[in-house]
């Protein structure tokens, strides 16, 4: 008995293969940009977690050593340059700090600590030791808070325009939220003023 060995694809196998390739291309091309933005926002959320952990460690060190110069941003004067100057180089290397403040369309050059918060993709708020856990520690720069809640996201706002925004709270939890959630303070949390 002779066994026939067909090494070629059948038409159905070829069509299935082409369909899979087409789906993968559709996800990778500009039409699949929403998923790409989502991945970039996830990276920004991760960056927020790293900044939160470094700030929390600095605050714990300040408590342990009774060093008033170390603490949450609101405990140490409420300015971005002071907070950044304490973070680098003790808690984060300059290059790492700059990468954490960057996002698509807003790149902080790694050669020096940014002089002002507006140079980065994140807004850091003057959270203090006494702030409750739901107080927002940082947001992506395309989100603008007001006493009545956030303003609608602008299409051209960096880093994510109207695709969504990132928040991270003092308690250590963060989220990627959508345009329709801008005014939902019950989801976002409470606010203190941003660093100057």
pTM of the model: 0.79
pLDDT tens string, the chain, 196 residues long: the values are 566 555 666 777 766 766 777 676 665 544 444 444 667 899 999 999 999 999 999 999 999 999 999 999 999 888 999 999 999 999 999 999 999 999 988 999 988 888 888 899 999 999 999 999 999 999 999 999 887 778 899 999 999 999 999 999 999 999 999 999 998 888 888 999 999 8
Are the C-beta atoms of residues 130 and 117 closer than 8 Å to each other? Answer: no
Cα dihedral 76, 44, 88, 71 in deg (nearest 10): 20
């Amino acid at each position: 008995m002779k066994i026939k060995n067909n090494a070629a694809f059948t038409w159905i196998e070829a069509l299935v293969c082409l369909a899979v390739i087409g789906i993968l291309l559709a996800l990778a091309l500009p039409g699949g940009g929403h998923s790409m933005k989502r991945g970039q926002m996830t990276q920004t959320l991760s960056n927020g977690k790293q900044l939160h952990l470094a700030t929390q460690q600095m605050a714990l060190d300040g408590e342990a050593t009774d060093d008033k110069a170390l603490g949450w941003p609101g405990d140490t004067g409420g300015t971005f340059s002071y907070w950044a100057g304490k973070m680098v180089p003790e808690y984060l290397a300059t290059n790492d700090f700059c990468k954490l403040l960057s996002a698509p369309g807003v790149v902080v050059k790694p050669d020096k600590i940014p002089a002002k918060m507006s140079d980065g993709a994140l807004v850091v708020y003057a959270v203090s030791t006494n702030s409750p856990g739901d107080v927002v520690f940082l947001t992506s720069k395309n989100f603008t808070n007001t006493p009545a809640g956030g303003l609608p996201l602008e299409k051209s706002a960096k880093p994510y325009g109207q695709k969504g925004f990132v928040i991270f709270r003092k308690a250590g939890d963060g989220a990627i939220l959508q345009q329709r959630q801008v005014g939902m303070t019950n989801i976002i949390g409470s606010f203190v003023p941003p660093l100057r």
